[in-house]
Amino acid sequence: MATPLTADRLVKALRDEGLTVVEHRSWRTHNRNHKGPWGPVHGVMIHHTVTSGTANSVELCYNGHSALPGPLCHGVIDKAGVVHLVGNGRANHAGSGDDDVLQAVIAEREVLPPDNEANTDGNRYFYGFEAINLGDGKDPWPAAQLLAIERAAAALCRAHGWSERSVIGHLEWQPGKIDPRGFTMNSMRTRVADRLEDKAPAVKPPAVKYEPYPGAAFFLKNGQPAIGKTSPIFTAMGKRLVAVGCGRYAVGPGPQLGKADVTSYEAWQRKCGYTGTAAKWPPGKTTWDKLQVPKS
């Protein structure tokens, strides 16, 4: 039994395990806690999305659909091994499953019983990761994606002091489910166990260097947005705006400043709590530093 990690601790655990993490939109406050309890947590559940493409898969898992509101998991793992966080708290991913399986996970038994009942609320007790895959047995599982599943599961096990026996697949929890399809959970648990044998997390990736605030004048021409100005900073800025859920681009972003960049950045400034003229272009130092634009 464990208290769920805070948003900050979850991000830190994943990054300390060597993962690239994207914080999608308002994931830190996006949950289904009003529908039931969240925690204590007992394990990690792995799924496949039955979708293709990163952007639409992440949006689907964030928003859900008419029959099942989002978030549909806590993190989406794309084909490149990037973890996109979409929920923090109770999420609609596990559904009702077998209480005997839950007790086996809590006890970290080596063999799970058959999942032949659906009598226990799994959304309360499990973190959920959706890995982007069609689930047809033909869609490949790239090595980077499998490694990211391993690392994400190990990160949470390490944070809570669990063994690999606290990691299960949806197909081991709820009768009739087949996910994840394309690798076995026993093989994944073996990978997680091997990783957990290391006493310390994986070596952290090199620290990212961020663009310093270039000053308001950089973004203006004659007191107006410098539309048409070209700089790689605008490309990096636009990508970050998309990552934080403020991108308003039909095409792009690119190195030439356009109206979509202005609209997107103003959306970011509103998201940071600014209103009225304070939210208008140009970027301010506080919101720029918070956006963390990678150095071009």
Three-class DSSP category at 23: strand
Helix axes 185-196, 143-160, angle to 10 degrees: 60
Spans of all domains in the chain:
7-196, 216-291
Enumerate the β-bridge partners of residue 43. Answer: 126
CB atoms within 10 A of CB 271: 17
- Residue 168 DSSP symbol: E
Q: Which residue has the tokens 């356009």?
A: 258
The CATH topology of domain 7-196 is: Lysozyme-like (3.40.80)
Q: Walk along the chain (296 residues) and give the pLDDT tens digit of each residue.
A: 699 999 999 999 999 999 999 999 999 999 999 999 999 999 999 999 999 999 999 999 999 999 999 999 999 999 999 999 999 999 999 999 999 999 999 999 999 999 999 999 999 999 999 999 999 999 999 999 999 999 999 999 999 999 999 999 999 999 999 999 999 999 999 999 999 997 656 555 566 689 999 999 999 999 999 999 999 999 999 999 998 889 999 888 999 999 999 999 999 999 999 999 999 999 999 999 999 999 87
Comparing C-alpha atoms, which of 78, 76, 46 is closest to residue 187? 46
